[in-house]
Structure 1
Amino acid sequence: YSTSLATYGKGDAFDHRASEGFIRVFGLPLRTQARTQALWGEGSEASLDIPRKALSAPKTSAKKPRKK
């Protein structure tokens, strides 16, 4: 991790206009799920099952950042 690369000031390298694209891409699964459920109609008992593979996947733990 380098704080000089993770800046949000005048000298940062990240083009903030790209953030809209990231939000759209990462939101696609949620929007698709919502549209699919809407097709079934309100009050239906249709659900989108979670694949067994996803349920049995090992959980990962987030590592804490090291102090300098």
Structure 2
Amino acid sequence: MTAKRATFRQADLTRAVKAVRAAGLDVARVEIDTDGKIVLVQSKETISDQMSPLDQWKAKRDARSA
């Protein structure tokens, strides 16, 4: 029995995720249907809402000194 040909390629998924991230959104989950439809579910926060590692470090440092 031959394997069923894939209905999507990794490049398609990579391209979609890069486009969403370039728009300033964060991908929380990726769903791929059996017919090849790619659904990207965004998180409730945008990338700019998330704290950078430097901001996280500063918040921990300030919390210890208070």
Q: TM-score scaled to structure 1, two decimals?
A: 0.25
User: Which is richer in strand?
Assistant: 2
RCO higher in 1 or 2 (8 Å CA, sep ≥ 6)? 2
TM-score (norm 2): 0.26
Q: Which of 1 and 2 has greater Rg?
A: 1
